[in-house]
Amino acid sequence: MAGFGDIVQKAFYLGVGIASYAGEKAGSTLVELRGQAQKLVDELVARGEITAEEAQKLVNDMVERAQKAPGESNTKSRPTEPRRIEILSDDDQPTNSEAQQAEEMRRQVDALREELENLKQKKQ
């Protein structure tokens, strides 16, 4: 059982390492975003399109939105109750029009396969 304990310990360390790496990656991405936003705003200030105060506010707003976006999307995407799943039995027969559409699609796929084979043979 000592081997099992080693495996559990390694799995734990792997999880900690992955979490640490993800945190570092997120931090570096945020730093890159701030740098890019600052560069863009500096260009706008140099052209005289916005003032320095507006530029600083714009950079702060961009970074703030970037920090909030992942957290907000997770809370919005989580449903308050479980999602309902409809289970269809194998006894359900497709309607006549669905069967015709499926058969037509099969014919089209077969025709495309033949055409592809012909093109491959011509190329060789």
Taking only the tens place, the pLDDT of each residue in 43-63 is 878 888 778 788 778 777 877
- pLDDT for the residue numbered 109: 92
- pLDDT for the residue numbered 20: 79
Q: Which residue, among 76, 55, 67, 69, has the nearest Cα to 29 in the 3D structure?
A: 67
The mean pLDDT value for 104-115 works out to: 92
Q: Over 60: is that where the pLDDT of 70 sits?
A: no
- Cα-based angle 55, 23, 8 (whole degrees, multiple of 5): 175
- pLDDT for the residue numbered 71: 53
Does the model's pTM come out above 0.75?
no
How far apart are the C-alpha atoms of 61 and 71, rounded to whole Å?
Answer: 16
How far apart are the C-alpha atoms of 123 and 76, rounded to whole Å?
Answer: 53
Assign 64 a pLDDT band (cuts: 50, 70, 90): confident
Residue 48 — left, alpha, or beta (φ > 0 → left; ψ -120 to 50 → alpha)?
left
- pLDDT for the residue numbered 111: 92
Taking only the tens place, the pLDDT of each residue in 74-105 is 445 555 777 777 776 666 566 778 888 888 99
- pLDDT for the residue numbered 76: 52
How far apart are the C-alpha atoms of 111 and 33, rounded to whole Å?
Answer: 50
